[in-house]
Amino acid sequence: MSAAPSDSATDRRHSLAEFVAATNQQDRGEGFFEMERDRLLEVNLGAAGTEVWIKAGAMVAYTGRIGFEREGMLEHGLGKFLKKAVSGEGAKLTKATGRGRLYLADQGKKVTLLHLDGESLFVNGNDMLAFEPTLGWDINLMRSLGAIAGGGLFNVRFAGRGMLAITTHYDPLTLRVEPGGPPVFTDPQATIAWSGNLEPKFKTDVQFKTLLGRGSGESIQMEFTAARSPGFVVVQPFEERPMPPGAA
């Protein structure tokens, strides 16, 4: 018994050529950082810049002549090395250098591009994807029992001028923090970033059932207040578990 003939119109609509055309890389001319897809970042190495710092393991493809070098133990100074050793930071860095197009992604998370123009921003270490070497950065340790238990032990402070790519599970939400206004409380595992003028504290509400492992997960919160100037905090609709120490 012969097979039923295929629908030629359907075949043309789902052809391999159509798939290639629909998913083909697009050159939008956006500069050093370019959004290839909402979950895929293109970095144009060459005339616009010959090197970029990326999260280790974020490379999915590249064209041209690009080399990769894992962050040296003392490349960013002894102070940062000691902080990374103490914090067990999971967001290890890789330096990509050369000429070509580099494509980055992180577990299918949504990519957001930010241009800092003299501002400062704190970013959860797990949610940093890439940044220009023109940006200054430092690891910020949050020393408290709440920080350790909530998974918000460390973050990265960026400052200066340059591009920064961060990632979120789904669409982020930004909450304003106003001087004299009510505090903003967030789940540490859903907190992505906050403005550089804010210094969050940890609020704990440890009850007996929490100690027995039957808590709701919201017994530890980050508390944001603004002293003199307004600020903001960015959250995602997802509780991201912290990476274990030494993970890449």
Structural domain boundaries in the chain: 29-235
CATH class as words, domain 29-235: alpha beta
Give the pLDDT of residue 72: 53
Q: What is the DSSP string of the chain?
A: -PPPPP-HHHHHHT-HHHHHHHH--------SEEEEETTEEEEEEBTTBSEEEEETT-EEEEEEEEEEEEPPTTTT-HHHHHHHHHHT-S--EEEEEEEEEEEE-STTPEEEEEEEEEEEEEEEGGGEEEE-TTEEEEEEE--SHHHHHHT-SEEEEEEEEEEEEEEESS--EEEEE-BTS--EEE-GGGEEEEETT---EEEE---HHHHTT-S-S-SEEEEE-BSSS-EEEEE-SS-PPPPPTT--
**How much is the average pLDDT of 45-69?**
90
pTM of the model: 0.81
Residue 194 has pLDDT above 90, yes or no: yes
Note the pLDDT tens digit of each residue in 131-186.
999 999 988 877 554 445 444 467 899 999 999 999 999 999 999 999 999 999 99
